[in-house]
Structure 1
Amino acid sequence: MPFVLYMLAVAVFAQGSSEFMLAGLLPDIAAELHLTVARAGLLTSAFAAGMVVGAPLMAAAGRRWPPRASLAAFLALFIAAHVAGALTDSFAVLLATRAVAALANAGFLAVALATVALLVPADSRARALSILLGGTTLALVAGVPAGAVLGEALGWRATLWAVAALAVPALVAVALAVPDRSAATGPVALRTELAVLKRPSVLHVLALGVLVNGATFGAYTYLGTLASGRVPLVLALFGIGAFLGVLAAGRLADRHWRALLAWGGPLLLAGWLALALLPAALPALAFALGALAFAVGSTLIGRIMAAAQDAPTMGGSYATAALNVGAMLGPVLAGFGYDAAGPTGPALVSAGLVAAAITVRALRR
């Protein structure tokens, strides 16, 4: 695999760490900026909203640029937003920097997903996507805990500086090694690329991506309520499983994606149901659930890219949007489940979302 692909994964790792790590530092941010913790929580919401809105908008804005220019511009904007956030004493400015960072993150990921087609042969794209998306899962394993430790030791601003510094080598690699040509074989009108969204095959796999990722992030958000003092262990097991699940899918999904979805979906459904019925087994289930959830989820991202191949500059944004719509809706629905059934409610909601995905897939066949 090309070295620049691993540097793109480093950038995705930095961005994934930034997306999740401030959640554990909200009390410190609130205390320093004289806010309530609930108001400080808007920082997380601003980033999530920016990811959903930013994926198609930023991909459309940069579609006429070569991949090198688009990726470099988005990454430079991401770095600048973190530097500004680390320097400000204004919550309004900090909130704005989170939204800007999310827009840049969404644009970068959308273009990076599309750029994979330029870097590797067609029969290696699932593996390449697994390396790229491995940056996100590695952020859950290492980036978020490291950010929490750094924030506790040196303050929350240090985490923003660290993310900015981590993204700099990736920016250099992008500027030097990403191809300076478009993924398209010729100019494709934006209207033509947007029309791809009307295809039933694309809508089908997008719906699957939203449902499965909604299930994953919905239950993940509330795992701490079941962990009973073992939160670090449980999150670490889930994150390690997620990382290995993405890598395994990358090895298999190019040729065996049908089998991955046919077996992975029911196993994932069984896993969420087992967690709801046997919450004490969470430590034993966390690794398997992380591996299954991200193996199936990353396989679906690859299928979105394949279904939307006639949208060479926008296809990555469709995959990014599906991932983040799921990441937004899943915790909301899981919250309703928690209110209705207590700590096991989110796992039941996640089981229901996976069951819906299995049903949608079966109806399409």
Structure 2
Amino acid sequence: METSQAGIDEYERFVWRMNPPRITIDNTSSETATLFKVESSNRHGILLDVVQLIVDFQLRIRKAYISSDAGWFMDVFHVTDVSGNKVTDPKILAVIEQTISSSHEFSKPQVGLLPSVEHTVIELTGTDRPGLMSEISALLLHMHCNVVSAELWTHNMRVACLLHITDLTGGPICDSEKLSRIKESLCNVLGGDKDPRGARTDFASGITHSERRMHQLMFADRDYERGCDEEDDRPDSDGRITVENCDEKGYSVVNIECKNRHKLVFDTVCTLTDMQYVVFHATIDTEGPRAYQEYYIRHIDGCTLNSQAERRKLIKCLCAAIERRVTEVFIDQGHVLHIASSFWVERVGYK
């Protein structure tokens, strides 16, 4: 069985090499947006890779049409810059075209990745409370560590944080004993013994896209669980998320209607991908103050969401992924940038 699976994996790699992603950039078909048309052989996660690349260049996805049936991936993205204009910078267009066309696995480091070779990257999750970041910073200063940059998200009284630190010489911390002391001390600050869900401190083992990793940390910490009556637990909002089965087509259909904001599509696709769902078709419209997303999905094993519990969990996780950007804190070389946006989504239509 292992040999057979290895053979399948090698065949898939061969297909990807023979059919690398190709992008066509069209600045004439639409008066209001630049069209990115991407085609390649299909594989799990390729949609997230393309969306991630677009948002890393601070571009906005206004509309998207996605199709990945029959082993072939073909998407069209209507994209603008942050000001709502077409993307005309030849340098940006050239980098996007080269990045997509030259890598058949999207595995090479690109923008938005953690420079874990230059810094020591610490991952933290635990219970949120006032002054937590100050306590963490004071502890690291006391242990002769320099915080180069940090990213912190909070949601449902849970916190996730990525810390990029160095020693006082500006290099990564290589002393294993010192790393152990840092880990133990940070766990004490996070209050692991008093936290019924537990606190976690670890060191990043590789290069990962920072915002995707933040979603993964909060999902692993189960921030989508609210700790009260789940049937009545709905945030005040005017949004809507539903999951239904389309039996005649063999898909589960996810519909999301909510307030529009930057990186909304990335947050949605990231959650679906990391929960091991495959998007076969999708239509996205984020041109106005409200965003509409429709995804035809199956689990990676080919099954639809057949149980109410599975559908409900997906709705809760999508809701959490959208709400997490309500509070974001970024620290870069000692300068703190705090972004707060009033974004909520209602979860209704459980079936």
TM-score higher than 0.5: no
Greater Cα radius of gyration, structure 1 or 2: 2
Which structure has more relative contact order (CA 8 Å, sep 6+)? It is 1
Pick the structure with more helix per residue: 1
